Amino acid sequence: MTWNWQHPDWPNFSYDSNALEALERDFLHRAGEFVGAFRHVDGEDQQALRIELISEEAVKTSQIEGEILNRDSVQSSLRHAFGLGPEKANIPAAERGIAKMMRELYQDFASKLTDAKLCSWHRMLMAANPSITAIGCYRSHHDPMQIVSGPIGRRMVHFEAPPSETVTYEMHRFISWFNETAPEGARPLPALTRAGIAHLYFVCIHPFEDGNGRIGRAVAEKSLAQNLGHPSLIALAYTIERHRKDYYDALERNNRDMDITDWLCSFAGTILAAQDNTLKRVDFYVAKAKFYARMEGQLNERQARVIARMFREGTDGFKGGLSAENYIAIAKTSRATATRDLHDLVEKGALTREGERRHTRYYLPIGK
């Protein structure tokens, strides 16, 4: 037997539930921490933070698949989708599509999973992809659906999905399993266990010509939200993108056998790391709001532009710190003016300074 779906026990995955008990407890504990931290954000800022978190996930889940989206366009479309203002002109179809899918995933998390919902997500994702012949429906081509790498003549097949003629049947079983294992279903499963199985199960069927990874991650996030009873706002794609090779390696290690304990523990660890990343980003957002409140009216136009650019780097910060050369390039100013501006920012406590002479670097006073 080559692939898990060819096993006589498919799709009855087996796993050691004891190996997941502590991870399940950690997940629920950290989910409570997030709710508490989010409540410390003011009402209007909550909506802005929500858009930031969702747009980051939208950008990262696409980036995992090699599609680079414009963050500002995604945020504009999300704000419009959430009824927070008009959409910018000329938003590309890819950015508008992922924004619509993420808004629906957030607002409609509690509803049952259906073929229609999955196909609707696919239409949103593939709106800008003219090379896909089957948009908004399951694949029907006769060629094997394979995940391959390497040059022509030396291709390595990492996985081959079930043939297209069985996809409708396989998806009927998957959707029934997903809804039955929900908290209110006939066979409820713990949060991490259900999300991990759902993601692996879905991507092993690989029901669409393209977009299976993005939709599979959306299915996992829907599963987590249903188990929590509210949108998770978890940085799942953000975390996976930072460890993309580990993610794909874990999937590949678990696409042949029916025992998926290794996968569930790996994916659970990713979700816990995603929760930590989300909490850090909430703390960062709160610190950012306090920074701007403290510095209101004290920054000139050049300083404001550079500070905004530094904040855009998020929790990772400006790589290697901000140099005088960086300041000159971003502010489009002279070295003498940059020196005065930087000295002023340090004096005001807007930046901290480390190093000397050409090794001098500047950092935001966040988390320091």
Domains identified in the chain and CATH numbers: 4-285 (1.10.3290.10), 299-363 (1.10.10.10)
The end-to-end CA distance of the chain, in Å, is 55
**HEC-encoded secondary structure of 302-341:** HHHHHHHHHHCCHHHCCCCCECHHHHHHHHCCCHHHHHHH
Q: Six-digit token pair at 57? A: 């996930």
Identity at 300, one-letter amino acid code:
N
Q: Give the integer Cα–Cα distance in Å for 4 and 258.
A: 6
* 89 pLDDT above the threshold of 60: yes
Q: How confident is the model at residue 48 (pLDDT cuts 50, 70, 90)?
A: confident
Q: Give the integer Cα–Cα distance in Å for 309 and 301.
A: 12
Q: Give the integer Cα–Cα distance in Å for 24 and 196.
A: 12
Q: Give the integer Cα–Cα distance in Å for 203 and 221.
A: 14
pLDDT for 127: 84
Query: Are the C-beta atoms of residues 288 and 311 closer than 8 Å to each other?
Result: yes
* 278 pLDDT above the threshold of 80: yes
pLDDT for 39: 84
Q: Give the integer Cα–Cα distance in Å for 303 and 297.
A: 11
If you ran DSSP here, which 8-state letter would residue 130 be given? T
Nearest alpha carbon to residue 357 among 324, 318, 333: 324
Q: Which pTM does this prediction carry?
A: 0.90
Between the CA of residue 195 and those of 7, 177, 302, 332, 335, what are the distances in Å?
22, 12, 46, 48, 53
Largest Cα–Cα distance in the chain?
74
pLDDT for 104: 96
Q: Six-digit token pair at 282? A: 């909430």
Nearest alpha carbon to residue 197 among 208, 181, 215, 210: 181
Query: Are the C-beta atoms of residues 278 and 50 closer than 8 Å to each other?
Result: no
pLDDT for 147: 92
Average pLDDT over residues 257-285: 95
Average pLDDT over residues 320-349: 97
More confident residue, 127 or 68: 68
If you ran DSSP here, which 8-state letter would residue 111 be given? S
* 368 pLDDT above the threshold of 70: no
Average pLDDT over residues 205-219: 97
* 338 pLDDT above the threshold of 80: yes
Q: Six-digit token pair at 242? A: 């930072």
What SS3 class is residue 154? coil
Average pLDDT over residues 14-43: 93
Residue 248, Cα to own-chain centre: how many angstroms? 15
Query: Are the C-beta atoms of residues 254 and 262 closer than 8 Å to each other?
Result: yes
More confident residue, 223 or 47: 223
Nearest alpha carbon to residue 109 among 233, 279, 204: 233
pLDDT for 312: 86
Average pLDDT over residues 274-298: 92
What confidence tens digit (pLDDT) does each residue in 142-201 have? Answer: 999 999 988 887 889 999 999 999 999 999 999 999 999 999 999 999 999 999 999 999
Query: Are the C-beta atoms of residues 321 and 354 closer than 8 Å to each other?
Result: yes
Look at the block and give the residue holding tokens 């659906």.
Answer: 145
Nearest alpha carbon to residue 27 among 279, 334, 325: 279
What confidence tens digit (pLDDT) does each residue in 128-139 have? Answer: 888 888 999 999
